[in-house]
Amino acid sequence: TQLLEQSPQFLSIQEGENLTVYCNSSSVFSSLQWYRQEPGEGPVLLVTVVTGGEVKKLKRLTFQFGDARKDSSLHITAAQPGDTGLYLCAGAGEDYKLSFGAGTTVTVRA
Amino acid sequence: NAGVTQTPKFRILKIGQSMTLQCTQDMNHNYMYWYRQDPGMGLKLIYYSVGAGITDKGEVPNGYNVSRSTTEDFPLRLELAAPSQTSVYFCASSYLRQGVDNEQFFGPGTRLTVL
C-alpha cells in the first residue's frame, strides 16, 4: 500500500478567501485523482491528473500534479460555502488499485 | 439511471451476528469495489472484482467475503461481526481500471455499528 499524506487535516476559512490542500507521498503514481465527499454521501470525482507537472482548472479549482508524480495540490480561489466538504486524494500505482489519503475537511463560513 | 445503490443505509449488529451489504450498479461497469471509511483514515479497499465470477482481496479483507455472480451485483458478507468492523462501507464501480483517467462512481454508503 502506498501512503498518501494530506495536509492540513482541517481547514476553516471565510467566504471569499483562497485555500490550498496538499497531497504528498514518497511513491510515484501513474495518475492521481481528487474527490469531494459531502456528509452522508459517497465521494464524487473532481479531476484526474496523469502527466507530471500537469495543471488542470475547473472554474475556481486548480489542480496540480508534481513533476515527479509524487505529490499534488488543490487550490480553491474565492471559496464559497458550497465548497465545504471532505477532499480526498487518491493515487494509482503500478497496479491499478487506488490508495486514498485520509482527507482534508474544508469548512467555508458565510 | 440510479448509478450505484447500496442497502441498507444504516444497521446495528450484535457481536457474532452476520449480515450482507447489498450493492447494485446499473451502468454496466466491469469493475466493482468495496471500501470501508473510518474517521481520519481515508478509504481502505476491502475486496474488488474485475468482472462477473472474478473477485480478489484488497488491503483489509479479513472478516469479509464477496461474490460477483452478475455484472450488476456485488454483495459484501460479514460472517461474525466484530466491533472493529464498525465503519461506513462504500461500494463503487468503474468501466475500466481504477486511476488512468477513469472515474469511479460511489454509492451513498452503509453505516454499520457492531455492539
CB contact under 8 A, B45 and A97: yes
d(CA A39, CA A68): 33
Q: Is the pLDDT of residue A7 over 60?
A: yes
The predicted-structure confidence for B56-89, as pLDDT tens digits, reads as follows 999 999 999 999 999 999 999 999 999 999 999 9
CB contact under 8 A, B100 and A96: yes
Give how far A26 is from chain B: nearest CA, Å. 18
Q: Which grid cell sits at A56?
A: 488542470
Distances from the Cα of B19 to the Cαs of A41, B25, B52, in angstroms?
22, 20, 22
Tell whether A105 lies on the interface with B, counting CB pairs under 8 A: no
Residues in A closer than 8 angstroms to B10, CB to CB, are: none
What is the distance, to the nearest Å, from the Cα of residue B73 to the centroid of all Cα atoms in its chain? 10
pLDDT of residue B22: 98
Q: Is the pLDDT of residue B98 over 60?
A: no
Closest Cα to residue B93, out of B34, B47, B52, B10? B34
∠B84-B19-B39 over CA atoms, to 5°? Answer: 35
pLDDT of residue A22: 97
The sign of the torsion formed by the CA atoms of B31, B32, B36, B39 equals: positive
Give how far B100 is from chain A: nearest CA, Å. 6
Q: Is the pLDDT of residue A36 over 90?
A: yes
Q: Is the pLDDT of residue A56 over 60?
A: yes
Tell whether B59 lies on the interface with A, counting CB pairs under 8 A: yes
Q: Are strands B31-37 and B54-57 parallel, antiparallel or unpaired?
A: unpaired
Beta-bridge partner residues of A78: none
Q: For A68-94, what is the mean pLDDT?
A: 93
